[in-house]
Chain A
Amino acid sequence: MIEFTLWDIVRNLLLAARWTIVLSLIAFVGGASLGLLFTVLRLSGNRLLKVMIGVYVDVFQGTPLLMQLFLAYFGAAALGFNVSAWAAASVALTLFTSAFLCDIWRGCLEAVPRGQWHASRVLGMDYLQTMRHVILPQALRLSVPPTVGFSVQVVKGTALASVIGFVELTKAGTMLNNATFAPFTIFALVALIYFALCYPLSRYSRYLERRLYDAGMR
Chain B
Amino acid sequence: MTLVCVKDLHKSFGDLEVLKGVDLDVAPGEVVAIIGRSGSGKSTLLRCLNQLEQHDGGNIEIAGQRLDAEAMAPSELSRNVGMVFQSFNLFPHKTVGENVMLAPVVVRGVNKQEASRVAREVLDKVGMLEKFDAYPAQLSGGQQQRVAIARALAMKPKVLLCDEVTSALDPELVGEVLLVLEALAEEGMTLILVTHEMKFAHDVADRVVFMHHGRIHEQGDPKTLFNHPRTPELRQFISAVR
Contact = CB atoms under 8 A, between A and B. Distances in A.
Name the residue among B73, B77, B92, B102 with the largest chain A CB count within 10 angstroms.
Answer: B92
B93 A217 contact: yes
Nearest to A119: B89
Interface in B128-185: 135-137, 148, 151-152, 155
A150 B107 CA distance: 37
Interface in A97-119: 113, 115-116, 118-119
Nearest to A127: B74
A142 to B, nearest CB: 10
A64 interface: no
A121 B135 CA distance: 21
B85 A215 contact: no
A118 B85 contact: yes
B94 to A, nearest CB: 8
A115 B87 contact: yes
B183 to A, nearest CB: 22
A216 B136 contact: yes
A26 B87 CA distance: 43
B55 to A, nearest CB: 16
Given A124-B78, A215-B92, A217-B93, A133 B102 contact: yes
Contacts of B82: 122-123
Dominant secondary structure at the A interface: helix
B75 A116 contact: no
B237 to A, nearest CB: 28
B50 A122 contact: yes
Contact of A216 (B52, B83, B103, B137): B137
Interface string A138-168: 1001000000000000000000000000000
Nearest to B50: A122
Interface residues of B, number: 31
Contacts of B108: 124
B92 A123 contact: no
A119 B85 contact: yes
Given A133-B102, A217-B93, A124 B74 contact: yes
Interface string B83-120: 10101011111000000001100111000000000000
B189 interface: no
Contact of B74 (A115, A126, A133, A216): A126
B11 to A, nearest CB: 17
B225 interface: no
18 contacts: A115-B89, A118-B85, A119-B85, A122-B74, A122-B82, A122-B83, A122-B152, A123-B102, A124-B103, A125-B74, A125-B75, A125-B107, A126-B73, A126-B75, A133-B106, A215-B92, A216-B92, A216-B136
Given A122-B83, A134-B91, A217-B93, 16 more contacts: A113-B89, A115-B89, A118-B52, A118-B89, A119-B91, A122-B74, A122-B77, A122-B82, A123-B102, A123-B103, A124-B155, A125-B74, A137-B93, A138-B93, A216-B92, A216-B137
Interface pairs A-B: 9 shortest CB-CB: A216-B137, A124-B78, A123-B103, A119-B89, A124-B107, A115-B89, A122-B83, A124-B75, A124-B74
Interface of B: 50, 52, 73-79, 81-83, 85, 87, 89-93, 102-103, 106-108, 135-137, 148, 151-152, 155
